[in-house]
Amino acid sequence: MSNADQLEIDKFSALAHRWWDPNSEFKPLHEINPLRLDWIDNHARIAGKAVVDIGCGGGILAESMAQRGARVTGIDLSEKALKVAGLHKLESGVAVDYRHIAAEDLAAEQPGAYDVVTCMEMLEHVPDPASIVNACRQLVKPGGWVFLSTLNRNPKSYLFAIIGAEYILNMLPKSTHDWAKFIKPAELARHVRNAGLDAVEVMGMTYNPFTKVYTLEQDTDVNYMIACRREA
């Protein structure tokens, strides 16, 4: 468990019981989920595919991918979040295999086992994001897809993701995010390239505080995703 920050895990564990409350601290994840799910599915056609969701938390994305017919494994290092995910699965009847294991350890155990790897809103919480990207590359089959998302690091993301979300709009608890750990698209693209993956598309996810609506667009100033492929 070397590439994990216990304080970060504890933060998510403390809130985990509210994971599936759409009006809780996890509201943003509920609201962006349909957008990222469609984006992933449009690229990778996930029905029938083996998918691993790294840092799955309470399972919002994992369950939604399983509902689209993917065979989903969800991994996280918060036991509480995984417990909540397991309970929610019983309620919703959606099949997801949840495991408490580090990405690097799963990669050593099951190299090349997955058609699709997703790792969303998690890289900005780990000490060594490049190591997670490497694990993604190890986990994915030749020709498979890796989808990553995180927060950009610039004055605007400080204003929106920290000041706006945590202090003005109270969308997130204070100190949910550490701005210094945010990752610029060029930095993430470098991790992707160094891992041996090809970046296929970079997509921004923006929040309009007036309409309270999220949209996918080219603007990667705050939240963004990268679709990557391993060569066939």
Compute the least distance from the CB of residue 232 to ligand SAH, in Å.
27
Nearer to ligand SAH, 115 or 124 (CB): 124
Nearer to ligand SAH, 8 or 41 (CB): 8
Quick one: which of 177, 202, 178, 207 has its CA closest to 188?
A: 202
Compute the least distance from the CB of residue 226 to ligand SAH, in Å.
14
Among the residues of the chain, which ranges form H helices? 6-15, 27-44, 60-67, 79-92, 103-109, 129-139, 155-157, 185-195
Nearer to ligand SAH, 44 or 120 (CB): 120
Compute the least distance from the CB of residue 164 to ligand SAH, in Å.
19
Nearer to ligand SAH, 117 or 192 (CB): 117
Other CB atoms within 10 A of residue 151 CB: 24
Compute the least distance from the CB of residue 84 to ligand SAH, in Å.
10
Compute the least distance from the CB of residue 24 to ligand SAH, in Å.
13
Element of type H or E holding 71: strand 71-76
Contact residues for ligand SAH (CB under 6 A)? 3-4, 8-9, 12, 29, 55-57, 60-61, 76-78, 81, 102, 120-122, 125-126
Nearer to ligand SAH, 31 or 219 (CB): 31
Residue found under tokens 């204070």: 174
Other CB atoms within 10 A of residue 167 CB: 11
β 198-208/50-54 pair status = unpaired
β 96-100/198-208 pair status = unpaired
